[in-house]
């Protein structure tokens, strides 16, 4: 069947069309993205502005048109931290539902971590053993650890690259004192939860998912996305530690010309790098692999798991 996944994230609203069947790998068929940056469209009270809601409604309507054009049978709509934590989230959800007919499912941070872990586990398989998954989004950092498809431990921290850039790194380039202050805060927040994971033992495999890790791996020398999903990509802590001070002195425009870094994400790259560096250091990670599957794939896989088995041929 053809499914559409509508992912309302803190940075991007992404509508992914996939051909998916129980027991088979979901195959991407079409991708439609709009960079709304909802986390940056909050007013002083923490509410998504009227302009932000109007843009969200228009983007959802665009996605529905894409779904119709591409023959999508079922749309799986969800929202993450930007909507979840907005002070007017209920009003946002109501307006989207009234004007588009789409009921956005708001995922908790734990949901995000667990579904991302499921996607990484399915991608890597059982041979990966005990798995530690790190995911840096626009609004939050998700961490999950486990041996099975459901993690033994999962956490979501308010350490997303977009959130931290807007709240802690206003300068371009940022003030060195702001960078140092953010580095201290990020490390303190991650350190509070490290024991929840390390008490289960040393992971056999560590992976990073989503855009921030992919971009950091690319500037550190990993293969381009054009070379395909199955090319192994990794990020070493040594390379990352070399890049962080360089990123701290660059403007967003200078970061935008680095390999694999988009103009829309360049401003957030330093904050994401500080979070990645802190997580790798505090968890004792020397090298992590980049997993091409993340939250959206986890949502698809969970939906497929709940489909009835195909009828036996008569």
Residue 308 CA to residue 1 CA, distance in Å, equals: 13
Report whether pLDDT(285) > 50. Answer: yes
Q: Where in the chain is the domain with CATH 3.30.420.40?
A: 2-106
Q: Where in the chain is the domain with CATH 3.30.420.150?
A: 109-297
Question: H helices within 106-175, ranges in order?
Answer: 109-124, 161-168
pLDDT in tens, 183-195: 999 999 999 999 9
Report whether pLDDT(313) > 50. Answer: no
- Cβ atoms 270, 173 nearer than 8 A: no
Residue 190 CA to residue 212 CA, distance in Å, equals: 17
Mapping DSSP to helix (H, G, I), strand (E, B) and coil, where does residue 153 land? Answer: strand
Q: Give the residue among 121, 118, 50 at the shortest CA–CA distance from 299.
A: 118
- Using a cut of 0.85, tell me whether the model's pTM lies above it: yes
Q: Give the residue among 142, 135, 165, 158 at the shortest CA–CA distance from 265.
A: 165
Q: What is the CATH number of domain 2-106?
A: 3.30.420.40
Residue 10 CA to residue 295 CA, distance in Å, equals: 13
pLDDT in tens, 162-220: 999 999 999 999 999 999 999 999 999 999 999 999 999 999 999 999 999 999 999 99
pLDDT in tens, 56-79: 999 999 999 999 999 999 999 999
- Cβ atoms 124, 207 nearer than 8 A: yes
pLDDT in tens, 220-273: 999 888 888 888 999 999 999 999 999 999 999 999 999 999 888 999 999 999
Report whether pLDDT(312) > 50. Answer: no
pLDDT in tens, 11-20: 899 999 999 8
Check whether domain 109-297 has CATH 1.20.20.10, yes or no:
no
């Amino acid at each position: 069947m053809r499914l559409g996944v509508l992912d309302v994230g803190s940075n991007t609203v992404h509508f992914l069309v996939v051909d998916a069947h129980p027991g088979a790998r979901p195959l991407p068929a079409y991708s439609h993205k709009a960079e709304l940056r909802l986390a940056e469209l909050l007013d002083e009270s923490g509410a998504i502005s009227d302009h932000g809601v109007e843009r969200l409604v228009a983007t959802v309507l665009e996605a529905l048109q894409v779904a119709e054009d591409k023959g999508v049978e079922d749309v799986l709509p969800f929202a993450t931290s930007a909507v979840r934590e907005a002070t007017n989230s209920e009003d946002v959800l109501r307006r989207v539902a009234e004007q588009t007919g789409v009921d956005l499912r708001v995922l908790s941070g734990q949901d995000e971590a667990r579904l991302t872990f499921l996607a990484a586990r399915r991608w890597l398989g059982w041979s990966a053993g005990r798995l530690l998954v790190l995911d840096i989004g626009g609004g939050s950092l998700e961490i999950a650890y486990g041996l099975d498809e459901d993690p033994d431990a999962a956490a979501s921290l308010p350490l997303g690259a977009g959130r931290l850039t807007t709240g802690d790194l206003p300068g371009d380039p940022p003030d060195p004192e702001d960078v140092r202050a953010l580095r201290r805060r990020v490390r303190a927040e991650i350190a509070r939860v490290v024991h929840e994971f390390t008490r289960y033992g040393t992971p056999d495999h560590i992976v990073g998912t989503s855009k921030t890790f992919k971009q950091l791996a690319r500037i550190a020398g990993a293969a381009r996305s054009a070379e395909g999903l199955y090319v192994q990509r990794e990020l070493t802590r040594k390379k990352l530690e070399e890049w962080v001070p360089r990123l701290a002195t660059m403007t967003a425009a200078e970061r935008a010309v680095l390999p694999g870094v988009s103009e829309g994400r360049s401003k957030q790259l330093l904050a994401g790098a500080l979070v990645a560096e802190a997580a790798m250091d505090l968890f004792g990670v020397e090298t992590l692999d980049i997993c091409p599957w993340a939250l959206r794939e986890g949502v698809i896989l969970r939906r497929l798991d709940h489909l009835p088995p195909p009828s036996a041929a008569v």
